[in-house]
A and B are shown apart, each in its own frame.
Chain A
Amino acid sequence: MTVIGWIQILLYCAIVVALAKPLGGYITRVFSGEATFLSPVLRPVERGLYWAGGVDETREQHWLTYTVAMLLFHVGGFLIIYGLMRVQAVLPLNPADQSAVAPDLSFNTAISFLTNTNWQNYGGESTLSYLTQMLGLTHQNFLSAATGIALAVALIRGFSRSSMRTIGNFWVDVTRCTLYVLLPICIVYSLFLVWQGMPQTLGAYVEATTLEGAKQTIAVGPVASQVAIKMLGTNGGGFFNANAAHPFENPTALSNFVQMISIFALGAAMTNVFGRMVGDQRQGWAILAVMGVLFLSGVAITYWAEANGTSLLTSLGLTGGNMEGKEVRFGIVASSLFAVITTAASCGAVNAMHDSFTALGGMIPLINMQLGEIIVGGVGAGLYGMLLFVVLAIFVAGLMVGRTPEYVGKKIEAREVKMAMLAILVLPLMYLGWTAVAVVLPSAVASMANSGPHGFTEVLYAFTSATGNNGSAFGGLTGNTFFYNLTLATSMFVGRFFMIVPAMALAGSLAAKKSIPPSAGTLPTTGGLFVGLVVGVILIIGGLTFFPALALGPIVEHLAMNANTLF
C-alpha cells in the first residue's frame, strides 16, 4: 500500500460525498414533480409520453397497482431483448455478422438486463450485433435503473407520508427519472468518455496489419453511449467481454476514476433524497455513514491483500503486488478500489479479473454482495435494501428496551418486520441453495476453471452475483451452459423481485400509518449509536448466514496459499 494510493481512495470518497447533496436535491425536485432547469426542453416530451400512454399524471397508485405496473413494464422489456437476440442475424446494424443467440443464453441475458444484473454469459463483441447492444441492452440499462430509483422513492414516500393509501404513480416516476436524471447526465458523460478514447461508431470491426505483419481484427462499436448508462445506472454489463478492463471500455486513469464516481453517484445521492423527503437530511447522512464504514473496511482489506501479492509471486522474487488479471494503467490501487465499489453497488462492471484476485482480496467483493449490496448499492435498490436492514436494527433496539420501535415517525410493527425478513432471507436461500446443488452435479462442476477451493468460490460467486443482481464474475466459470443459464436466471429473478415486492408491501403499509412526533423515549436515528447498531445488525445477520460458505472457499484457499499448496 502506498500514500498516493490512499490519497486516490480518500479523494474518491470526498467527491462522492460532495456530490450527494446537490444530486439529491435535484432528484428530490424531479420526483416531487417540480420544474427543473431542463423542463423547458423535456416537459413537452414528458407530456407526449403520458398522452400516448394514456397516463393521468395526477392520479396516484396503491402499492399493489404500482407493483403490478412495474411487473407489466418488465414483461414487455423481456420480450424486446429476448426477441432481438433471437432474430438479430436478419436485422440491420450487424456488421460483424453475428448469428442468432441460442434460446437459453437469450433467456439468461434478457432476465439479466431486466433485473439490473447484467451477468455476462454472452461475449459482447463476439456475440451481439450493434442493434442488440443499443435497442436491447442500452435501453434496458436505462429502464432497469429508472425502475430501481422509482421503487426506492416509492418506499421513501411510505416513510414520509401519513395516513395515505397511495405511494405515487409508477409511469410518472419511471418517465421522469429517465428523462430528467439519467438521459441528460449520460449525454454529457458519453461525450467525455469518447474524448478519453472510447469508440462511438456504427462502422465495422477494423482490420489492422500489425508492425510485425500479423492480422489483427479490432472490435469497435457504439461503446460510449452504452458505457455511460452502464456505470451511472449500476448495470455493469460490458460492451466487450473484458468489460471495463478493455482499453476501449476504460481508456485512461481519468476515465476509470470518473467511472468509479458514476457508479456511486446516484446511489449515494439517494440517501440524501431520503433525508430530504422525510424532512431531516441528517437521517440520510446517518445511512451514508453506515455505508461508509462498511465500504472503507472493505477497501482496506482488498487493497492490502492485492498489494501484498501471492506467495507464488513473492517466492519468485516478483514485487509490486498481484498483477495477474490487472491492467498496467490502473495498477493495484485503482483495480482494488474498483472491485470493492462495483460489488458494494450492484454494478458488476470490472476493470480487473476478480477470479485472479488473491483469496482475501476476492473475498471482500463476495461479502459485499452477500450483505445484499446495501453499501450504496444499486441505484435505488441499495437504498431500499438498506432500509430493510434499518427496520431490523430498529426492531432489535426496540426489543432491548421493551418499546414499540419507531423510525422517522413511523411505528415499526409485526408486518414491517416480517416483510423485511422475507426480503432478506430469500437472498441466501438462492445463492447458498443453488451453490449446494451445483457442487454435487458433475456437469456443473465441470464448468469450473480452477480446481480446489477456488473452483468452489467461482460457483458461490456466480450465484451470489446473480442473486444480488450484481453481474460481476469469477469469470473462469463457464456459465454459458444450459444448467447455469437457467439457474442463474432464476437467481437473478428471485433476487430482484422477491426483494421488490416485500419492499413495496412495506411502503404501502407504512404510508397508511399515521406519523407520530418523536418523544423522549425515541431512539435518535441520526447519531453514532444508531450507525453502530445498523452496522452490527448487518454484520451479524450477514456473518451468520454466509460465513460457513466463505470458510470452504476463500478462507481455506488463503490458508492453502500460505502453505504453498497448488491445485
Chain B
Amino acid sequence: MLREIRPAILILLLLTAITGLAYPLAMTAIAGAIFPKQAQGSLIEKDGKIIGSSLIGQDFKEDRYFHGRPSATLAPDPADSSKTVSTPYNAANSGGSNLGPTSKALADRIKDDVEKLKSENPSTPVPVDLVTSSGSGLDPDISPEGALFQVPRVANARNLPEARIRELVVQHTQGRMAGLLGEPRVNILALNLALDEASK
C-alpha cells in the first residue's frame, strides 16, 4: 500500500497541472485568437464606450424602451453588507427568484405585474414571460408576443407610428434554430439600439 503514496502525490500534481493550468490557459489563448469577440463576452460598444453585452439583459425602465422580464438578482445592501437588496439585472450575481408554485410572495408579485401591464395595454392578453422572472435574472430575450405587447407604449413615448415599431420587432425576432431547437425570441438590447437609431 505504501508504494501507492508516490503516484498519489505526483500523478495528482501532474494531472492537476495539465487539466487545471495548461488546458484552460491554452483554450484561453486559442479562443482569444479564433473567436476574440465571443471570448471577451460579446461586448457591444457605442461611441467608444462599452454599453453592455449582447447576451446579457439590462434593466430597462423608461417608457421609450422595450422592457425585459422581471429579474430577481440581488446585490449586497450598501447600508449593511450582511443583507442583500433587489438589484435587477446584476450581472455580477446571477440567480432566480426560487419561489415555488404555491408561494404567496410569487402570487402577489405576478398579480401586481399583470395589473400594471393590463393598464398599459388592456386589449391584448398578457404574455407569461413578461410577468415571470428568468432563471439567471439576466435573460437577454423576451418572446415575440412580449415585444408586440409593448408596442403601443413605446410608440406613444417616441411619437412614432405603431406600424414602424412593429416592423422593428418583426425584424429583430429570431426563430427557432434550424426551425427546431429553442423558442422564438427577441433580443431586447438589440431591439432598443435599433429603436434609438430609428428615432434619430
Q: Is chain B found bound to chain A in the same assembly?
A: yes
**Chain A residues near B176 (CB, 8 Å)?**
4, 253
Q: Which of B6, B31, B114, B185 contacts A194 (CB 8 A)?
A: B31
Q: Is the CB of B23 within 8 A of A242?
A: no
B142 interface hit (Cβ, 8 Å): yes
Report the nearest A residue to B59, measured CB to CB.
Answer: A214
A476 vs B125: C-alpha distance when bound (angstroms): 30
Residues 40 to 94 of chain B near chain A (Cβ within 8 Å) = 40-43, 49-53, 55-62, 65, 69, 89-94
Of listed A178, A242, A454, residue having the most chain B CB within 10 A: A242
**Chain A residues near B96 (CB, 8 Å)?**
242, 245, 324-325, 353, 355-356, 475
B61 to chain A, nearest CB (A): 7
Knowing A247-B56, A353-B135 are in contact, say whether A139-B16 is a contact too (CB < 8 A): yes
A38 interface hit (Cβ, 8 Å): no
Q: Is the CB of B94 within 8 A of A211?
A: no
Q: Is the CB of A138 within 8 A of B20?
A: yes
A162 interface hit (Cβ, 8 Å): no
Knowing A76-B9, A316-B114, A356-B97 are in contact, say whether A328-B102 is a contact too (CB < 8 A): no
Interface digits, A443-481 against B, CB 8 Å rule (1 contact, 0 not)? 000000110111001000000000000000011100000
Q: Is the CB of A175 within 8 A of B92?
A: no
Knowing A194-B39, A224-B31, A450-B103 are in contact, say whether A329-B92 is a contact too (CB < 8 A): no
A502 interface hit (Cβ, 8 Å): no
B23 to chain A, nearest CB (A): 6
A64 vs B19: C-alpha distance when bound (angstroms): 28
Q: Is the CB of B98 within 8 A of A242?
A: no
B126 to chain A, nearest CB (A): 6
A358 vs B102: C-alpha distance when bound (angstroms): 9
Q: Is the CB of A216 within 8 A of B91?
A: yes
**Chain A residues near B150 (CB, 8 Å)?**
none
**Chain B residues near A323 (CB, 8 Å)?**
128-129, 132
B168 interface hit (Cβ, 8 Å): no
**Chain B residues near A247 (CB, 8 Å)?**
55-57, 136, 138-140
Interface digits, B112-136 against A, CB 8 Å rule (1 contact, 0 not)? 0010000000000111110111111
A191 vs B5: C-alpha distance when bound (angstroms): 36
Of listed B57, B136, B139, residue having the most chain A CB within 10 A: B136
Q: Is the CB of A218 within 8 A of B180?
A: no
Knowing A212-B61, A565-B102 are in contact, say whether A73-B8 is a contact too (CB < 8 A): yes
Q: Is the CB of B28 within 8 A of A246?
A: no
Number of interface residues of A (CB under 8 A): 132
Interface digits, A180-196 against B, CB 8 Å rule (1 contact, 0 not)? 00010011001100111
Of listed B30, B60, B100, B185, residue having the most chain A CB within 10 A: B100
Of listed A72, A247, A252, A330, residue having the most chain B CB within 10 A: A247
A173 to chain B, nearest CB (A): 11
Knowing A65-B4, A254-B177, A317-B125 are in contact, say whether A225-B28 is a contact too (CB < 8 A): yes
Report the nearest A residue to B93, measured CB to CB.
Answer: A126
**Chain B residues near A199 (CB, 8 Å)?**
38-42
Residues of chain A at the chain B interface (Cβ within 8 Å): 4, 7-8, 11, 45, 49, 52-55, 65, 68-69, 72-73, 75-77, 80, 96, 123-126, 134-136, 138-139, 141-143, 171, 174-175, 178-179, 183, 186-187, 190-191, 194-203, 205-212, 214, 216-220, 222, 224-226, 229, 240-242, 245-248, 251-254, 256-257, 309-313, 316-331, 334-335, 350-353, 355-359, 362, 449-450, 452-454, 457, 474-476, 557, 560-561, 565-567
Residues of chain B at the chain A interface (Cβ within 8 Å): 1, 3-16, 18-21, 23-28, 30-32, 34-35, 38-43, 49-53, 55-62, 65, 69, 89-104, 106-107, 110-111, 114, 125-129, 131-143, 146, 176-177, 180-183, 185, 189, 192-193, 196
